[in-house]
Amino acid sequence: MEYYNCITLFVALLIITLHFLIRNPRKSKLPPGPKPWPIIGNIHLLGSKPHRSVADLSKTYGPLMTLRLGSITTIVISSPDVAKEMFLKHDVDFASRQIPDCVWALDHAKLSMAWLPVCPKWRELRKISAIQLFTNHRLDASQGLRKKKVNELVEFVKGCCEKGLVVDIGKAAFTTALNLLSNTFFSMDLCAYDSSGSQEFKDLAWHIMEEIGRPNISDFFPLIKALDLQGVKRSISTYFSKMLEVFDKIIHKRLSDQIGSKDDVLDALLNLVKQNELTLDNVRHMLIDLFVAGTDTTSNTIEWALTELLRHPEKMTKAQAEIEQLLEKGQSRSIQESDISKLPYIQAIVKETMRLHPAAPFLIPRKATTNIELCGYWVPKNAQVWVNVWSMGRDPSVWPDFESFTPERFLESEIDIRGRDFELMPFGTGRRICPGMPLAYRMLHLMLATFLHSFNWKLDNGLSPEEVDMEEKFGVALAKVQPLQAIPFPR
């Protein structure tokens, strides 16, 4: 009997040992990282600007680093070389999302193309966005509407200058971006420059982005997420509901309108609903993603570009000269989307702005769907993956004089922002690259070129360019003809 007990004990110990080895075959080969504290792990190291804190840590622990955030293993990628191996060799394995708890509000994560894992439903939505929404043919067909909105921006700023009124560049850029999008999707404006509507929608978009990006104890400790201790999920439910109310009114009016088709994006989406290829809920939540991502990020990039140009007036002069040369000095016509390809310095300014100030410093977090070997280290299944594009934009091995704003570096470079180059991928890359990139590309260049062509901007608050606080961006003023007051820049 004792013999059989010994055999049983031996087999049990062997099974336990094999289970441990199979489950943790390379635990010792996790990427290096700071030693975690009990319970909280490395949360205390993130600070108020996690992308900067993590970039500093990567200087010590390397471009592939492990952080323990509560109970979540987080792998941080901070170099283009590591990102290249990740996306070229393992894009499928890293294509799922690490979903913040708050995004489950109103079942958004189940319906959103941005948050769904790679699955048949996600592939269907992705195909629709590529074929129905953002084709060159559809965007070309609606460029007249976008041109009209940009011309309205020019008239608004001119009116402010004539009256000596302050021009809030952030609000003006957001209103323009919102109307560019809404005319592409709905053939209508969602707001006006002289109304509170744009600020209300801007606040909604900002609050949604802020809540999704806010450190949330529910994400660090999933076992207690049902408690929603910080109220983040409740807050974002309110913001989602308010935004859906706006879209529901437009959809209801379109469905009850028997006059005819407007041949815009909303018509295309509703036709797919009639053909049972989409549900109305899919359409509603797709609009949340597109309008949140396409308005606040676009306006912030324009603000950053103008802020940098204010600090470097010689580069602003160079950009304006390029535009004048294209349009033949004194010509009254406005900038067209077709002019973008003929404005290499404007394109270089946009690239340099996105290098220094990417709208999403970590992109949207990924999730490993299996155990993966990456650059000789072990990335465990279900690990969260942060791709720190902010840090990559400051990699001294890639970017000489990386802290300086130097658009000229792109004039002789083939590096682009469309996801082909891992040194600069503000829209992401691979299967999860931003589907709205073709429209965003047109909007950014058109708005920036129009701002530069139509007005002469200058600092007018008594500060030299060197004294402007580029980190917080308070106290920056833009002026044209008449002195204007201080204008807030992006948070």
- Residues making up the annotated binding site for heme are 434
Contacts of 347 (CB under 8 A, 6+ apart): 340, 410, 445
Binding residue positions: 434
* Long-range Cβ pairs for the range 330-338 (8 Å, 24+): 334/147, 334/150, 334/151, 334/154, 334/450, 334/453, 335/150, 335/446, 335/449, 335/450, 335/453, 336/143, 336/147, 337/143, 337/146, 337/147, 337/442, 337/445, 337/446
Neighbouring C-beta atoms of residue 415, cutoff 10 Å: 16
Amino acid at 1: M
How distant is the alpha carbon of residue 357 from its chain centre?
Answer: 11
Q: What is the CA radius of gyration of the chain?
A: 25
DSSP H or E segment with residue 77:
strand 72-77
d(CA 266, CA 131): 14
Please give the torsion angle defined by the CA atoms of residues 142, 144, 145 and 146, in that order, rounded to the nearest 10 degrees. Answer: 90
Closest among 273, 339, 280, 292 to 132, alpha carbons compared:
273
| Largest separation between any pair of C-alpha atoms in the chain | 103
Burial of 126 (0-12, 13-18, 19+ CB in 10 A): middle
The answer to whether 237 and 204 are in contact (CB under 8 A) is no
d(CA 446, CA 451): 9
The sign of the torsion formed by the CA atoms of 443, 448, 450, 451 equals positive
d(CA 264, CA 249): 17
Closest among 448, 426, 442 to 134, alpha carbons compared:
442
**The token pair that represents 11 in the structure block:** 């087999």
d(CA 86, CA 379): 11
Contacts of 227 (CB under 8 A, 6+ apart): 218
d(CA 190, CA 343): 30
Which letter does DSSP use for residue 487 in this model?
A: B
What values do phi and psi take at 67, rounded to 5? -120, 145
DSSP H or E segment with residue 74:
strand 72-77
Closest among 417, 177, 122, 144 to 294, alpha carbons compared:
177
Burial of 325 (0-12, 13-18, 19+ CB in 10 A): exposed
**The token pair that represents 436 in the structure block:** 């709205």
